[in-house]
């Protein structure tokens, strides 16, 4: 049970806040990265749709390689200690309707999160990724815990 | 399955290359954000105060005032596009749902662009077949319409007509803007909706307008496309219409969304 209110984020959004706030979203093949600094109780979440921005359109956080560095910058700008940051990643399901999943969007979204977080030396302390089910998550900034439920089918 | 490791390997390579691309573009992104913030406040002051300087009709200075006023409006249009771009790229651009009368948004956009229409002596014909107000993000839809109309004014022929059709079918809102004039080449479609891409046509402007249109359409779960026939250009925006009570938050109506986390997994 969260003590503050919960902000819902959509695809391409980033939200950074401090305890007792919570942040929630619903994911299919999209991935959400949750960052948390337990010393300041500052944390943030993004929700991206595709792995790479390829110079087509605006550099928006609906792309993983844009959304993750922006989330890191945003939590640090809010006062989080970059060395104390821990990450949790969720989502990246394969769509039910595309069982063969030749595009592997979900897998590529997961890969981008893992690679970029490794590059920034931010440890991934929990994750629930892949599979075929959508997920609903709520990130509680009081304790840095994420509550997660599976949807019957991916978004 | 050998393909999966190979695809993941290639994805890592793409990520490396894209990092270089992002870094090469970061100065541009930072510049847009900085300029937008620095220009927005003085622009608001200028817009608010300029009307108080209007000389009486018939005075010699009135013509000069009209020119300055047009320049301020044009500048504001460009600055608001920079502000929109900076917001989209920052990721802090949330949707806000309200009941919207689409026709009134079109009228508002035409009023803001009246100076451009007058300068090119263009006429606007509106076919409004949307009887009801719909739930959407009014500010985003306004900027979509404003940029499509500005595009039609900018590239349309002098003395030509701009036709705007508003349609609603199968829970989809269609905004169709026709103009006759310099047509963007269909083979440049991806570039047309990319920022700073006006050079694809060797034309003017910052090349931001249509990139904002596409981003806002995507944020509203819609799409934008254009078609060219001879010199007639047609831009079509399609947006899903959410049927919901405006007193409810815009988080969607999916039951799953509103389920409690009582039996959730904790990670």
Record: contact A112-B15, CB cut-off 8 A: yes
Give dist(CA A74, CA A68) in Å, integer.
10
Residues B86 and B105 in one domain: no
CA dihedral B120, B126, B132, B138 (to 10 degrees): -10
Task: Count CB atoms within 10 A of the CB of residue B16.
Answer: 10
Whether pLDDT at A125 is above 90: yes
Report the pLDDT value the prediction gives residue A4, as an integer from 0 to 100.
Answer: 62
Give the CATH number, domain containing residue B224. Answer: 3.30.565.10
Record: contact A67-B254, CB cut-off 8 A: no
CA–CA min distance B218, chain A (Å): 10
Which residues are CB-neighbours of B116 under 8 A, at least 6 positions away?
B74, B122, B150, B153, B154
CATH number of A7-91+101-148: 3.30.1330.200
Residues B207 and B256 in one domain: yes
On whether any CB of chain B is under 8 Å from the CB of A34, the answer is no
Whether pLDDT at A154 is above 50: no
Of A65, A104, A136, the CB nearest to B256: A136
Domain boundaries, chain A: 7-91+101-148
Give dist(CA B30, CA B90) in Å, integer.
10
Please say which residue of B58, B90, B122 terminates a domain.
Answer: B90
Residues B133 and B249 in one domain: yes
Chain A residues touching B207 at Cβ < 8 A: none
* Best mean pLDDT range from A36-40, A55-59, B232-236: A36-40
For an interface test with A, give the residue of B96, B261, B262, B266 to mutate (most A CBs within 10 A): B261
List per-residue pLDDT tens for chain B, 267 residues long.
455 677 778 888 888 888 777 777 777 777 777 888 788 888 888 888 888 888 887 788 888 888 888 888 888 898 898 888 888 877 667 778 888 889 999 999 999 898 889 888 999 999 988 878 888 889 999 999 999 999 999 888 999 999 999 998 888 999 999 999 887 777 677 667 776 665 444 454 557 888 899 889 988 889 999 888 888 899 999 998 865 443 333 334 455 666 677 778 888
The answer to whether the CB of B243 falls within 8 A of the CB of B225 is: no
Give dist(CA B25, CA B29) in Å, integer.
6
Chain B residues touching A70 at Cβ < 8 A: 90-91
Of A106, A98, A117, A94, the C-alpha closest to A30 is: A106
The answer to whether the CB of B215 falls within 8 A of the CB of A60 is: yes
Task: Count CB atoms within 10 A of the CB of residue A75.
Answer: 25
Residues B71 and B108 in one domain: no
Whether pLDDT at A95 is above 70: no
**If you write DSSP's letter for every residue of A21-45 in order, what string do you get?**
-EEEEEESS-EEEEEEETTTTEEEE
Record: contact B22-A136, CB cut-off 8 A: no
Task: Give the nearest chain B residue to A124 (CA atoms).
Answer: B267
Name the pTM for this structure.
0.68
Q: How many domains does chain B divide into?
A: 2
On whether any CB of chain B is under 8 Å from the CB of A54, the answer is yes
Please say which residue of B69, B90, B111 terminates a domain.
Answer: B90
Q: Is the dihedral of CA B207, A63, A34, A37 positive or negative?
A: negative
Chain A residues touching B15 at Cβ < 8 A: 51-52, 65, 111-112, 115-116
Please say which residue of B29, B59, B90 terminates a domain.
Answer: B90
Residues B175 and B247 in one domain: yes
Out of A46-50, A136-140, B42-46, pick the least confident: B42-46
Radius of gyration of chain B (CA): 22
On whether any CB of chain B is under 8 Å from the CB of A57, the answer is yes
Residues B142 and B239 in one domain: yes
Q: Is A32 left (phi over 0), alpha (psi -120 to 50) or beta?
A: beta
Which residues are CB-neighbours of A144 under 8 A, at least 6 positions away?
A36, A38, A41, A43, A86
Of A7, A14, A51, the C-alpha closest to A29 is: A51
The answer to whether the CB of A33 falls within 8 A of the CB of A89 is: yes
Report the pLDDT value the prediction gives residue B250, as an integer from 0 to 100.
Answer: 36
- Which residues are paired to A48 by β-bridges? A31
Report the pLDDT value the prediction gives residue A137, as an integer from 0 to 100.
Answer: 94
Task: Count CB atoms within 10 A of the CB of residue B211.
Answer: 26
Q: What is the mean pLDDT of chain A?
A: 88
> Hey, is A69 helix, strand or coil?
helix
> Hey, is B28 helix, strand or coil?
helix
Residues B46 and B121 in one domain: no
Whether pLDDT at A67 is above 80: yes
Q: Which domain holds residue B230?
A: 98-263
Of B174, B175, B146, B149, the C-alpha closest to B162 is: B149
Give dist(CA B20, CA B15) in Å, integer.
9
ipTM of the complex model = 0.75
Task: Count CB atoms within 10 A of the CB of residue B231.
Answer: 13
Record: contact B263-A149, CB cut-off 8 A: yes
Give the CATH number, domain containing residue B14. Answer: 1.10.287
Give dist(CA B102, CA B119) in Å, integer.
26
Whether pLDDT at A128 is above 60: yes
Give dist(CA A64, CA A66) in Å, integer.
5
Chain A residues touching B266 at Cβ < 8 A: 145-148
What is the tally of helices (H) and strands (E) in chain A? Answer: 2, 9
For an interface test with B, give the residue of A58, A60, A124, A128 to mutate (most B CBs within 10 A): A58
Chain B residues touching A91 at Cβ < 8 A: none
Report the pLDDT value the prediction gives residue B198, as an integer from 0 to 100.
Answer: 52
Residues B233 and B104 in one domain: yes
């Amino acid at each position: 049970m969260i003590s503050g209110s919960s902000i819902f984020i959509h695809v391409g959004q980033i939200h950074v806040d401090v305890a007792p706030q919570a942040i929630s979203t619903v994911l299919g093949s999209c991935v959400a990265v949750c960052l948390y600094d337990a010393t300041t109780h500052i944390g943030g979440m993004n929700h991206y749709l595709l792995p790479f921005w390829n110079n087509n359109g605006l550099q928006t956080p609906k792309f993983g390689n844009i959304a993750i560095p922006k989330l890191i910058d945003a939590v640090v700008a809010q006062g989080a200690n970059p060395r104390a940051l821990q990450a949790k990643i969720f989502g990246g399901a394969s769509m039910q309707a595309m069982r063969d999943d030749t595009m592997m969007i979900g897998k590529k979204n997961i890969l981008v999160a893992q690679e970029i977080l490794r590059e920034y030396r931010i440890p991934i302390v929990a994750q629930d990724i892949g599979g075929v089910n959508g997920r609903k998550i709520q990130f509680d900034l009081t304790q840095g815990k994420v509550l997660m439920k599976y949807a019957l089918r991916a978004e | 399955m050998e393909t999966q490791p190979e695809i993941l390997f290639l994805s890592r390579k793409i990520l490396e290359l894209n990092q270089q691309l992002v870094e090469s573009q970061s100065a541009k992104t930072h510049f847009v954000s900085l300029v937008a913030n620095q220009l927005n406040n003085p622009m608001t002051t200028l817009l608010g105060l300029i009307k108080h300087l209007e000389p009486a009709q018939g005075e010699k200075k009135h013509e000069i005032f009209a020119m300055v006023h047009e320049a301020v409006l044009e500048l504001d249009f460009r600055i608001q596009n920079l502000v929109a771009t900076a917001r989209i790229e920052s990721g802090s651009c949330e949707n806000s749902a309200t009941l919207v009368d689409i026709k009134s948004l079109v009228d508002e956009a035409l009023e803001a662009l009246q100076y451009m229409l007058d300068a090119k002596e263009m006429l606007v014909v509106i076919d409004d077949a949307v009887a009801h107000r719909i739930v959407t993000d009014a500010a985003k839809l306004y900027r979509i319409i404003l940029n499509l109309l500005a595009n039609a004014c900018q590239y349309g022929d002098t003395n030509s007509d701009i036709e705007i059709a508003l349609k609603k079918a199968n829970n989809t809102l269609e905004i169709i803007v026709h103009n006759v004039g310099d047509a963007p080449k269909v083979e440049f479609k991806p570039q047309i909706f990319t920022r700073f891409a006006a050079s694809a046509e060797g034309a003017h402007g910052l090349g931001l307008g249509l990139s904002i249109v596409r981003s806002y359409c995507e944020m509203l779960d819609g799409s934008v496309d254009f078609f060219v026939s001879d010199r007639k250009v047609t831009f079509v925006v399609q947006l899903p219409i959410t049927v919901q009570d405006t007193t409810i938050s815009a988080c969607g109506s999916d039951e799953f969304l509103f389920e409690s986390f009582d039996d959730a997994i904790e990670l």
